[in-house]
Amino acid sequence: MNIIVALLHHIAAFTLVSTLLAELVLVRQPLTVSSARSLRFIDGIYGMSAMLIIVLGVLRVMYFEKGQDYYLHSHAFMLKMTAFIVVGLLSIYPTVVFLRWGKAIKQNQLPVFPDAQANTIQTILKLELAGIIFILVGAVLMAKGYSM
């Protein structure tokens, strides 16, 4: 079971990174009704993968790996969790913008997406991807025993 939970956790993490990259590619292009639909759909997958990472991560910490005492005293784990939280908080603004497009998309109309807002979302997506680097640094440090 440990292997299955770990595998699903990693698949969810790779899915999250993939969705961020897909969103960045779409946001950099001129917005169409089709790309707006795609952004909303991809952002939904992003949210589901983030939730799956949280649920599976908690299961791994509590039941399938070294135990909560080990992780809660690990600086590398705290780096990883802090970066994950920052990435999650950064993702709120793009998600809210994409959700607000619902009415326009249902009416097959192009959502309002000013250049300044598109640029802000591009910057946020880049910051989220940079935050992933810190998550990976924490994971590598943990894997190499720099946990305490």
**Residue length of the chain:** 148
Average pLDDT, the chain: 94
**Reported pTM:** 0.90
Residue 147 has pLDDT above 80, yes or no: no
pLDDT digits (tens, 9 = 90+) for 97-141: 999 999 999 999 999 999 999 999 999 999 999 999 999 999 899
Token representation of residue 94: 């793009």
- Contact between 56 and 9 under an 8 Å Cβ cutoff? The reply is yes
pLDDT tens digits for range 85-99: 999 999 999 999 999
CA distances from 8 to 1, 27, 46, 49, 81 (A): 11, 28, 15, 10, 18
State the pLDDT at residue 70.
82
- Residue 103 has a pLDDT of 95
Residue with tokens 């939970």: 5
